[in-house]
Amino acid sequence: MSISAVSTEGSFSGSPTAGAVGACGEALVSFESVRGLLQGAVGGAFFGPLRKRAWECAKSDLLPLPSEELWRQTPSDLFEFGSLGEPCQTTLSLCQFEGGASKPGSASTELPKGVTFYSDENAASFAQMLEESLWKQSAPYRDHVRDDGFSDVFAWLQIATSTTVSVIHVARGANASKPVLLSTLVSGVGNCASTILLVILEEGSSISVVEDLDDESARLFMPRFEFIVGRNASLNFISLQRLGNKARYCARHRVHQYKDSRSYFLHVALGAGVSRLDFDCRMLEAGGSAVLHSAYLADGTRHIDLHPNQIHLAPHCTSNLYSKGVIKDKARTVYYGYIRVAEGAQKTDAYQTNRNLLLSSDARADSVPNLEIKANDVKCSHGSTIGQISADELFYLMSRGLPRADAEQLLVEAFFEDLLAKLKQPELHDYIGAAILKRLHKASSATRIKSLVIKPGLELNTEGSLHG
């Protein structure tokens, strides 16, 4: 049973305009509404009314002005929201991760035991799963998956332009040791591609998900991912964004962590002409820990923006954010991170570090870490650096016989390597490393580049394929 794109009766005329942000009624992406939305999948009478309402809200609500702090460095007009038309058909698919040999779109019967992927095809069993397991066990979740800050014009736009909602469900106690690959498949003529994904880890379960967003089209991509990590569950999520130069990417990811849960994220931003990720990590019960890593590489005239928020609502949780970026040519990046510790979230350990390496005089990096701490017995810190390749380090390498260009390449690869070395799975290390390398050398005049650090001996043809 497939769900065709539901047109909201030609109401994609008009567009959101800039102005002061206003509220637009109750939160659309509360658990209740998502449940309703998901249940509505049965019979295909899906989404339409919800999307229509979202579109009305989006039109009446206003895009942020450049003078607003959170949008000052990445003006919303970069995304061209004003020219949104009919969305294209966008679906997600999940399969086993096999490096370059993965087969997105293949049957999800190959998924690890205990992992189920719900979307259009199995909408009926989806609703059933919802009623039988998730809803009953989700009582502690319901109050928390509420919008505090994610309920704004972008949320409406994401819903209005989504043509599907998907769920990755990991059963209680299931431990999926091999990673799975999440792919986005876009078809049709529309100029925006939005997706809504819920990832639900039941108590004691674990999963590793790799998202590879690799699309050359000039569309606006607006994914909205919500991760619910149940008690004692463990989530690894690696997102590789390598869209084409004319694409725009405006993503929102949120993870809600329950008692003693663990999460590990690696967001890698390599593509799109303008890219923005708002990422909330919310500690809802004691004992949670989160490792939030990100790597970005901005070349040409790319603009990459990262807005992570570590939100501690419960005591005894740890969150550690480590974000590194390389900026070259005339590109620009923005890091704007927040650690918010609520009153009562005692014994919080929260750290954020952002390191930027500029490779040209026109490159620019902004780094703004923030702390908002309302508890009095916590350990929080933040650090950020913006610098160039150290002349001393370069000299050290050259004095051992490396030509200048090789020494520079080695130092840039090394800059990312310490993030990659922290990836638990070696097959992912090489896969992500090769993606970074390709982007690093895209503008190079050489046609073949050899990796000096990330995977020594790995040879890349700068046009496309991998060798070695």
Partner 1 sequence: MSTEPLLQISALRAGLADREILKGLSLSVNAGEIHAIMGPNGSGKSTLAKVLAGHPGYPVESGSVTFNGADLLSMEPDERARAGVFMAFQYPHEIPGVSILNFLRTALNAKLGKDMPLMEFRKFLFEKMEMLGMDKSFATRFVNDGFSGGEKKRNEILQMAILQPTLAILDETDSGLDIDALKIVSHGVNTIKSQGKPPPAIIIITHYNRILDYITPDVVHVLHNGSIIYTGGSDLAVKLEEKGYDWVIESAAQTANSQLTKSTHANP
When binding is defined by CB under 8 A, the residue of 392, 426, 445, 465 that contacts partner 1 is 392
Instruction: Decide if residue 411 touches partner 1 (CB under 8 A).
Output: yes
Stretch of 167-175, 312-320, 386-394, 434-442 contacting partner 1, by CB under 8 A: 386-394
CB nearer to partner 1: pick between 110 and 393: 393
When binding is defined by CB under 8 A, the residue of 101, 139, 189, 421 that contacts partner 1 is 421
Q: Say which DSSP state 112 is in.
A: P
Stretch of 52-60, 63-71, 234-242, 388-396 contacting partner 1, by CB under 8 A: 388-396
Say if CB 84 and CB 161 are below 8 A apart.
yes
Gap between the Cα atoms of 451 and 192, Å rounded:
36
Instruction: Decide if residue 393 touches partner 1 (CB under 8 A).
Output: yes
Instruction: Decide if residue 456 touches partner 1 (CB under 8 A).
Output: yes
Q: How many CB atoms neighbour CB 110 within 10 A?
A: 12
When binding is defined by CB under 8 A, the residue of 6, 78, 453, 458 that contacts partner 1 is 453
Say if CB 450 and CB 458 are below 8 A apart.
yes
Instruction: Decide if residue 47 touches partner 1 (CB under 8 A).
Output: no
Q: Residue count at the site for partner 1 (CB under 8 A)? A: 29
When binding is defined by CB under 8 A, the residue of 207, 397, 435, 449 that contacts partner 1 is 397
Q: Say which DSSP state 290 is in.
A: E
Gap between the Cα atoms of 213 and 124, Å rounded:
28
Percentages helix, strand, coil for the chain (3-state, rounded to 5) are: 25, 40, 40
Q: β-strand 248-257 against 220-229: which pairing, if any?
A: parallel
Say if CB 357 and CB 326 are below 8 A apart.
yes
User: What contacts 200, CB < 8 A, 6 or more positions away?
Assistant: 134, 167, 168, 169, 170, 228, 230
Report which of 239, 64, 26 is spatially closest to residue 147, judged by C-alpha positions: 26
Instruction: Decide if residue 417 touches partner 1 (CB under 8 A).
Output: yes
Instruction: Decide if residue 418 touches partner 1 (CB under 8 A).
Output: yes
Instruction: Decide if residue 422 touches partner 1 (CB under 8 A).
Output: no
When binding is defined by CB under 8 A, the residue of 377, 400, 426, 464 that contacts partner 1 is 400
Query: Which two structure tokens, joined as six digits, stand for 317?
Result: 């949780």
Is the Cα dihedral 322, 266, 215, 65 positive or negative?
A: negative
Instruction: Decide if residue 434 touches partner 1 (CB under 8 A).
Output: no
Q: With the CA atoms of 93, 182, 328 and 455 taken in that order, what torsion angle do they form, in degrees rounded to the nearest 10?
A: -130
When binding is defined by CB under 8 A, the residue of 214, 406, 408, 459 that contacts partner 1 is 406
Q: How many CB atoms neighbour CB 457 within 10 A?
A: 9
Q: β-strand 349-358 against 220-229: which pairing, if any?
A: unpaired
Instruction: Decide if residue 414 touches partner 1 (CB under 8 A).
Output: yes
Instruction: Decide if residue 251 touches partner 1 (CB under 8 A).
Output: no
Stretch of 52-60, 77-85, 408-416, 429-437 contacting partner 1, by CB under 8 A: 408-416
Query: What does the radius of gyration of the chain's CA atoms come to, in whole angstroms?
Result: 22
Instruction: Decide if residue 465 touches partner 1 (CB under 8 A).
Output: no
Instruction: Decide if residue 357 touches partner 1 (CB under 8 A).
Output: no
Instruction: Decide if residue 401 touches partner 1 (CB under 8 A).
Output: yes
Stretch of 91-99, 176-184, 285-293, 449-457 contacting partner 1, by CB under 8 A: 449-457
For residue 353, the minimal CB distance to partner 1 (Å) is 13
Instruction: Decide if residue 415 touches partner 1 (CB under 8 A).
Output: yes
DSSP 328-380: -TT-EEEEEEEEEE-TT-TT-EEEEEEEEEE-STT-EEEEEEEEEE--SS-EE
Stretch of 6-14, 136-144, 343-351, 402-410 contacting partner 1, by CB under 8 A: 402-410
CB nearer to partner 1: pick between 249 and 416: 416
Report which of 268, 259, 249, 257 is spatially closest to residue 326, judged by C-alpha positions: 268
For residue 461, the minimal CB distance to partner 1 (Å) is 18
When binding is defined by CB under 8 A, the residue of 398, 427, 429, 462 that contacts partner 1 is 398
Q: Say which DSSP state 348 is in.
A: -
Instruction: Decide if residue 410 touches partner 1 (CB under 8 A).
Output: yes
Gap between the Cα atoms of 407 and 405, Å rounded:
5
For residue 323, the minimal CB distance to partner 1 (Å) is 15
Interface residues with partner 1 (CB under 8 A)?
390-393, 395-404, 406-407, 410-411, 413-418, 421, 452-453, 456-457
